[in-house]
Amino acid sequence: MLQAPETPFPADPAGAPAPTAFPWELQLYSNWCWAACARTVLAALNRPSPRQCEIVERSGPNGCCSAADADTSNDEFAVGNDAPGCNDGFPPSGIPGFYQVNFNVAASTITPSEQAIVGGLASGKPVQIRYQWGDGPFGHYALLFGFVETPNGRFYRVSDPEFGRLMATYAHISSAYEKGQLAQAWTF
């Protein structure tokens, strides 16, 4: 997996401990946060972890790996331009079925409350979350890998395929880094 940036954006809240080693992978294209999360979940569960483009192809579109392998432009939209449907997001309603059908991994939808997330993390497995950006249909997936209790409060280990490894309070997570709101969550 790729290494996280040392100073992730958005900035960790004041008083947050330094991010410790936990799984993280950069999303390779603008709308592949869900594929990077799936790859990271599979690795955390000690399952075979296909390439992000192979995960995207399992959701329906063809030619994603060919387009990604041929892309040398560093254009975050190139793969979608070269292979229609390959840079599309993934609907949150499809998350449990996608994991079950493609990887034989059970995913359960939970309420995105702090109590439910803490309960989900108690198993030692990641919790996948989805942020809703603003009022529109756009969102973003990330993972939680436990938390740390400090004198400054509880800080969650966030594995964000766009922003890196973060240590964040539930308030920071529930506000989608002050860009929206926490909308959905799943346990494994």
Whole-angstrom Cα distance, residue 62 to residue 86? 8
Confirm whether 128 is domain-assigned: yes
**What does the pLDDT look like over 130-142, one tens digit per residue?**
999 887 778 999 9
Confirm whether 22 is domain-assigned: no
pLDDT at 154: 95
Are 105 and 126 in contact by the 8 Å Cβ rule? The answer is no
Confirm whether 28 is domain-assigned: no
How many domains are contained in the chain? Answer: 1
| Max Cα distance, the chain (Å) | 51
Confirm whether 89 is domain-assigned: yes
Residue with tokens 């890998």: 145
Domain of residue 105 covers 33-187
- 130's tokens: 């989805």
Supply the CATH number for residue 87's domain. 3.90.70.10
Whole-angstrom Cα distance, residue 57 to residue 42? 16
Confirm whether 183 is domain-assigned: yes
pLDDT at 1: 30
Whole-angstrom Cα distance, residue 31 to residue 181? 18
- 153's tokens: 């409060």
**What does the pLDDT look like over 98-147, one tens digit per residue?**
999 999 999 999 999 999 999 999 999 999 999 998 877 789 999 999 99
pLDDT band at 9 (very low <50, low <70, confident <90, very high): very low
pLDDT at 138: 87
Confirm whether 14 is domain-assigned: no
Confirm whether 155 is domain-assigned: yes
pLDDT at 2: 34
User: Helix H segments across the chain?
Assistant: 33-44, 52-58, 64-70, 78-82, 95-103, 114-121, 170-174
58 pLDDT higher than 50: yes
Confirm whether 24 is domain-assigned: no
